[in-house]
Structure 1
Amino acid sequence: MRILILGASSYAGQAIAKTLAENHEVYGTYHTHRKSCLAENKMFQMQLGDSDSIKNILDQIQPQIIISSLRGDFQLQLEVHSIIADYLLTNKAGKIIFMSSSNVFDAAMEKPHYESDKTNSQSDYGKFKMVCEHMLQDKLKERCVIIRIPQIFGKNCPRILKLTEDTENNTSIITCPNLYMNYTTDVQIAEWIAYITKENLSGIFHIGTKDTCNYMRFQSELSRILKLKEPVFQKEVSSRKRFQAVLPGRKEIPEKLHMNVTDLLEYLGQVQK
């Protein structure tokens, strides 16, 4: 199967490309740095806002599945996704897997959220992801897969590198002891997408731990497991318990692809050595 990953040089995009390339013909795009496991002739430079180059890449590869892990200007991203939807409609085949975010629920933080919950966001980022979700679903129906993810962790991920730097320098870390989150890894995202692709599943999926952990405790535990110095926290305390968590509720995903927060922390301790 021919798969095109938009943003294959991103942190999650690299893991997705590596996993899918084991069984599929995988191509990717990058903006500045061609950082990927894919061969040079399978990576295409793409500029947001250059609709002709995007259309040329689609015409040249003729992908059966398009995975969007794009970053950048929101309006330009929206235009790219509109082009992709029109391309898929014209070809009457193929689907898109759109990487969304837990931020689509950031105006409704009184509880964790599952796939069937109605989105409600107050942030610019969350509202942008909501608009993309709705546009793709309206145009493509069952040929659109929505992937919602919480914070991503993994080997040498940006968040771990920043935590390491902050603890070494005794830099205050803003944290929220009353904010409960779930978490995911680049590898878990890649494995879920590989399974969704293999089984030709459709709809909305939340990829992350099955449980939550308050953000301050998670950072403390992660620092301990990675043998970092104790973080210096600047606490932003809320009077009520809040959640930014997209919990997985789909029954089609096998148990071996699930994890809880303890599993994730143990995994990070192993891969970061």
Structure 2
Amino acid sequence: MNRILILGGSGFIGNALYKELAPFFDVHATYKTDNPIFEKNKHFHQFDYEMERLHILLDNLKPKFIVTALRGNVTSLVRLHFEIADYVEKNDCKVIFLSSANVFDRFTNYPSYEYDKTLSESIYGRFKIKIENELLRKPISKYVICRIPMIYGAGSPRINEIKAQLQMNEAIEVFSNVVINATHINKLVQQLHYIINRRRRGIFHLGSNNLIHHIDLIKDICEELGHPDALIKQVFDSNEDRHLAVLPKDNMLPKHLQLTIEDVVKSSVVL
């Protein structure tokens, strides 16, 4: 059975992916902060990427797939991913890097596709680009780069925040001129499962096939949650529409793994 190591298995994406993969693979995951539940699970390993080197854990587990779902200190994360890139090049395994739509946040006129040039004006986007570029120097069989837009779905941090604001009757901040695509957590982990199981490689854009203004998405979600008259605070960061969307084109997934904005909206209330 192929062994998978999820770095960041205690986080929102990492934990959802662990639950998706565990029935089918030998899945191990890391967590950082003391947690009695994870401590009882022999497949969870406490690891602080800011203080420790990863090679000891890699040498012990010898995973075939390393999924990186970590957030935090940018400098430490860059060092860690360079260490992983060196490891996969020398060993029989590959890395699945969860990147972001923000690698294109400097391009505003059009949505972006898998092999478009990356360019970012944000610290977060430039950090993701630096790691992507290091992986792109390796043989294509050694990496998968998954660029992910905003993640919604029942239980997600974004939906939980919207629910809390609705309950408190607070205004929800939206970016009226931003055109996006999106995804939801259940579909995302299914897509990653497929990529691992079919040993796909290269760059994937794991978002909806269609676009929507951010304000319209939030309004639709609020209505789905039973609040059609939610308070909305509009924020304008430009006079014209600005795209922040990663559309799939070259590396398409099977039809049952594709999704639309309408699926994202419906997922906000499906547990």
2:149 maps to 150
2:112 maps to 113
Task: Verify the 8 A CA contact 2:176 2:215 in the aligned structure 1.
Answer: yes
Alpha-carbon distance, 1:145 to partner:
0.6
Which runs of 5 or more structure 2 residues have no equivalent in the other structure? none
Decide which moves more: 77-86 or 136-145: 136-145
2:267 maps to 267
Aligned-residue RMSD, C-alpha: 1.9
Percent identity over the alignment? 32
Matches within 5 A, 1:63-82: 63-82=63-82
Give the partner amino acid of 1:27: H
**CA shift digits 1:227-251 (9 cap, x unpaired):** 1363322212332111111112245
Q: Which runs of 4+ in 1 moved over 4 A?
A: 33-39
**CA shift digits 1:206-265 (9 cap, x unpaired):** 001100111111111101101136332221233211111111224551000011111221
Task: Verify the 8 A CA contact 1:172 1:231 in the aligned structure 2.
Answer: yes
2:192 maps to 193
Alpha-carbon distance, 1:172 to partner:
2.5
Task: Verify the 8 A CA contact 1:6 1:69 in the aligned structure 2.
Answer: yes
Task: Verify the 8 A CA contact 1:183 1:209 in the aligned structure 2.
Answer: yes
Structure 1 CA distance for aligned equivalents of residues 107 and 150 of structure 2: 17
Structure 1 CA distance for aligned equivalents of residues 255 and 176 of structure 2: 30
Structure 1 CA distance for aligned equivalents of residues 267 and 41 of structure 2: 31
**CA shift digits 1:155-194 (9 cap, x unpaired):** 2111111111112223232212221111111111211111
2:175 maps to 176
Task: Verify the 8 A CA contact 1:173 1:234 in the aligned structure 2.
Answer: yes
Task: Verify the 8 A CA contact 1:206 1:246 in the aligned structure 2.
Answer: yes
Structure 2 CA distance for aligned equivalents of residues 184 and 248 of structure 1: 12
Task: Verify the 8 A CA contact 2:101 2:148 in the aligned structure 1.
Answer: yes
Q: 1:88 to 1:118 in 2, by over 3 A?
A: same
Number of paired residues?
A: 269
Give the partner amino acid of 1:48: Y
Q: 1:39 to 1:116 in 2, by over 3 A?
A: farther
2:25 is aligned with 1:30? no
Structure 2 CA distance for aligned equivalents of residues 40 and 141 of structure 1: 34
Task: Verify the 8 A CA contact 2:89 2:142 in the aligned structure 1.
Answer: no
TM value normalised by structure 1? 0.93
Structure 1 CA distance for aligned equivalents of residues 147 and 56 of structure 2: 29
Task: Verify the 8 A CA contact 2:184 2:267 in the aligned structure 1.
Answer: no
Aligned residue for 1:67, secondary structure, equals strand
TM value normalised by structure 2? 0.93
Structure 2 CA distance for aligned equivalents of residues 27 and 48 of structure 1: 16
Aligned residue for 2:138, secondary structure, equals helix
**CA shift digits 1:28-49 (9 cap, x unpaired):** 0011165989971110111122
Aligned residue for 2:159, secondary structure, equals helix
Structure 1 CA distance for aligned equivalents of residues 112 and 65 of structure 2: 27
